[in-house]
Structure 1
Amino acid sequence: MALLEDLTTVAVVGAGAMGTGIAQVAAQAGHQVHLVDAEPGGAAAAHQRLGDSLSRLVGKGKMTADERAGVLERIVIGPAADGDLAQLPPVGLAIEAVIEDLAVKQEIFETLADHQDESTVLATNTSSLDVGALSHDLATPERLIGLHFFNPPPLMRLVEVVRTTQSDPEILEQASTLMERWGKTPVLCTSTPGFIVNRVARPFYGEAQRMIEAGTADPATIDLALREHGGFRMGPCELTDLIGQDVNFAVGRSVWLQTGRDPRYEPADVQRRLVEAGRLGRKSGRGWFEYDDSGEPIDATPDEGQVAELVGGPIETDPVARTLAMLVNEGVDLVRRDEATAEDVDTAMKLGTNYPKGPHEWLAEIGAATIVEQLRALDAAFPGGRYRVSSALEDQL
């Protein structure tokens, strides 16, 4: 297998925002990067947009003109740029960053495997698909791993390094070291639905949506409670409006389906109705809130008095305690299944979602007995399996 510490040349397949951002990161680390896109002229257009973006950084004094020129020179628009992967020269690492379509990704990896040396490491930036399924038809499935960057890749420090049952441990170790050299913080996890971040984060959105659905409080009031009393930078409603209700709903539904429709991850009807109504958030002008032409919400005034009443009250109507209990439950359950370490889970949630603490830090602060009591009360109030207690918490009693 290729030694990634000796890596010189990288290919990035997919010249959208994520692919271009990954190419920028690799080029800034000193690698030659071949940028490829199936859309004719797509890679060249992405290169031009990146040049414009880097020019703005130069203008702000965040990058020198020579650094800009070096990055753009190292990103190559070559014979394979318009999608003919057979024309790609030998590379040590090929990262796929195209649409979340299993068949499309499988075809890319099969073509790369046919035309690249067996030592080339193959990586997918998928955020929702099973990495093992992508390697299923490869003669050397051990060389395919997940490298899940977060948007925007040049700014976000976290990368989930995703293993399958067949991934070569040496490649995983070298990939983690490479990500550190690229200025990132790698966390190692198993290819399970949502990996770490997109799975553990589901309750942050889901609990708010269920409280809104029940008429407990309006979106702005719940957001204020989570910001002021939970320490979150953004509330779940304003955050999903920023992400896009359709995008957030799709991720949640994907995790739910991939876990066999586990009630713990079942999407809320209230969010589904938002999506069906075209209320997708800031990008459509309406989501949980309505937005003016500058993107500012015009109807997001919270009820501060209600926040004071809810926080510290019964768990069923306390947005903060209810959300934290579920985040802890999800985090410890992931570790119990041996999908990641407690340290990596906490690191991932703090870097990938900007949470003020990780689930295990909250557990140490609140205590297992309290969390279990809260979850049992929620399960009694809302039966069906969503609030079942992880055995990892019960073992601590």
Structure 2
Amino acid sequence: MTTPPGPSHVSVVGAGAMGAGIAQVAAMAGHPVTLVDAVTGAAEDGVARIIAGLQRLEAKGRIDSARLEAVAQALSTVTHVAELPPSAVVVEAVREDLGVKQQLFAELAAHQPADTILASNTSSLDITAIAEAVPDPARVLGLHFFNPPPVMRLVEVVRGAHTSDTVVTTATELMTAWGKTPVRCASTPGFIVNRVARPFYGEAQRLLMAGVADAATLDEALRRAGFRMGPLELTDLIGQDVNLAVGTSVWEQTDHDPRYEPTAVQRDLVAAGRLGRKTGEGIYRYAADGTMRDAVPDERRLEELVGGPVETDPVARTVAMLVNEAVDLVHRGEATADDVDTAMRLGTNYPRGPLEWGAEIGYAVVAEQLATLDRAFPGGRYRPSPALAARVDL
């Protein structure tokens, strides 16, 4: 099976922000693209949003009128999945519900040619489980784009248990042709980015609950370490409900591993409707223009924490856990070290990849930091990866 980049047809199911964004990427790469959505008129609205966005780019001189016209002509819509034309690849971007996706993939398999690649944009569901609805699961994989798809370079190419090597290779080459940076991984909970990133949010929330420092001080510590945003302000931006849902999914899919257990502070925020910027209050309170109120770090406390004991140092504690997650993932054979570091730099804007960071700090140092945390907070969350010892001299 070979799907050359160029005029081969691409279909997208789901016309929300992600689906429309993926459709735009494919159309701008030169493909005719058909968009469909279960909600009447949503596909047409998606196309209209794409064209409006491109018109804004044209007004800024970033694309010319010929390019805009070519993309507009490439986009079409249908009313039902069964009406999609034969496609080289179909990407679904519907809601994160396994039953809904399985039903959709069964329908796609019934109406698309046998060599059509069927891809899910899921951020957390098991590709192998989604593929159970397809007679030939070898053609099913994940293509996890990041929001917004036209801007974010990263795409996780996710292999299910039955995905063929040819399909993985073809999809990887296609993503490169679309101007993306693909990374390959196995279909495990959270894939690369959403799995490795869990401690970035969780450690800050635990330090906040323990009263180690206020939110603004914790966030400032991580920003000064090179992270673009602090973890607490980032969860407010993402949406506490959205971040909790992903974290809960990873926790449940790992048999309630304590490494991924959601925190009481985040559960309480969601229960209270304090979802972050979109509701005007989350960890922080927000003005009408989205700016944070009362977010002033305590400089004296910041100096006490950073460089101090790992139990209360938000930077050391967070980085040690990120390194541990990355080492474990590579050790399990779920992705390569290069792909993990690339994914975390591009998908989360981390200042460096966690494995690169671990080598810089020294894996022996990280292992000792984790052992210290494991003694201070028993229960399994801070258990060092067994692979860390093997990497001490690397």
Which TM-score applies when normalising by structure 1?
Answer: 0.97
Give 2:70's aligned residue. Answer: 70
Counterparts of 1:65 and 1:240 in 2: how far apart (Å)?
Answer: 38
The 8 Å contact of residues 10 and 34 in structure 2, kept in 1 or not, is answered as yes
Counterparts of 1:25 and 1:354 in 2: how far apart (Å)?
Answer: 21
Give 2:131's aligned residue. Answer: 135
1:183-226, Cα deviation, whole Å (9 max, x unpaired): 00000000000000000000000000000000000110000000
Give 2:218's aligned residue. Answer: 222
Give 1:166's aligned residue. Answer: 162
- Aligned CA-pair RMSD: 1.0
The counterpart of 1:355, out of the listed 344, 347, 350, is 350
The counterpart of 1:97, out of the listed 88, 93, 102, is 93
Which ranges in structure 1 are unaligned for 5 or more consecutive residues?
none
Counterparts of 1:7 and 1:211 in 2: how far apart (Å)?
Answer: 52
Give 1:199's aligned residue. Answer: 195
Deviation (angstroms), 1:7: 5.9
Give 2:251's aligned residue. Answer: 256
What aligned pairs does 1:49-68 form with structure 2 within 5 A after superposition? 49-68=49-68
- In structure 1, the residue corresponding to 2:142 is in which secondary structure? strand
Are residue 319 (structure 1) and residue 305 (structure 2) matched? no
Deviation (angstroms), 1:159: 0.2
Give 2:331's aligned residue. Answer: 336
The 8 Å contact of residues 145 and 161 in structure 1, kept in 2 or not, is answered as yes
What aligned pairs does 1:203-214 form with structure 2 within 5 A after superposition? 203-214=199-210
Give 1:233's aligned residue. Answer: 228
Deviation (angstroms), 1:137: 2.7
Q: Which amino acid in the other structure matches residue 217 of structure 1?
A: A
* Identical counterparts, % of pairs: 61
- In structure 2, the residue corresponding to 1:145 is in which secondary structure? strand
Deviation (angstroms), 1:50: 1.7
Give 1:8's aligned residue. Answer: 8
1:373-395, Cα deviation, whole Å (9 max, x unpaired): 11011011110000001011022
Counterparts of 2:7 and 2:191 in 1: how far apart (Å)?
Answer: 26
1:98-127, Cα deviation, whole Å (9 max, x unpaired): 000111111111111111110111000000
The 8 Å contact of residues 4 and 175 in structure 1, kept in 2 or not, is answered as no
Give 2:281's aligned residue. Answer: 286
Counterparts of 2:165 and 2:226 in 1: how far apart (Å)?
Answer: 37
Counterparts of 1:195 and 1:298 in 2: how far apart (Å)?
Answer: 35
- In structure 2, the residue corresponding to 1:186 is in which secondary structure? strand
Counterparts of 2:270 and 2:299 in 1: how far apart (Å)?
Answer: 28
Q: Which runs of 4+ in 1 moved over 6 A?
A: none
Deviation (angstroms), 1:5: 4.3
Counterparts of 1:274 and 1:282 in 2: how far apart (Å)?
Answer: 12
Deviation (angstroms), 1:396: 3.0
Give 1:365's aligned residue. Answer: 360
1:262-310, Cα deviation, whole Å (9 max, x unpaired): 0010001011111111111100000111111110001111101111110
Q: Give the count of matched residue pairs.
A: 392
Deviation (angstroms), 1:3: 2.8
Give 2:111's aligned residue. Answer: 115
- In structure 1, the residue corresponding to 2:144 is in which secondary structure? strand
Give 2:19's aligned residue. Answer: 19
Which ranges in structure 2 are unaligned for 5 or more consecutive residues?
none
The 8 Å contact of residues 208 and 215 in structure 2, kept in 1 or not, is answered as yes
The 8 Å contact of residues 7 and 92 in structure 1, kept in 2 or not, is answered as no
Q: Which amino acid in the other structure matches residue 353 of structure 1?
A: T
Counterparts of 1:23 and 1:385 in 2: how far apart (Å)?
Answer: 43
- In structure 2, the residue corresponding to 1:148 is in which secondary structure? strand
The 8 Å contact of residues 2 and 119 in structure 1, kept in 2 or not, is answered as no
Which TM-score applies when normalising by structure 2?
Answer: 0.98
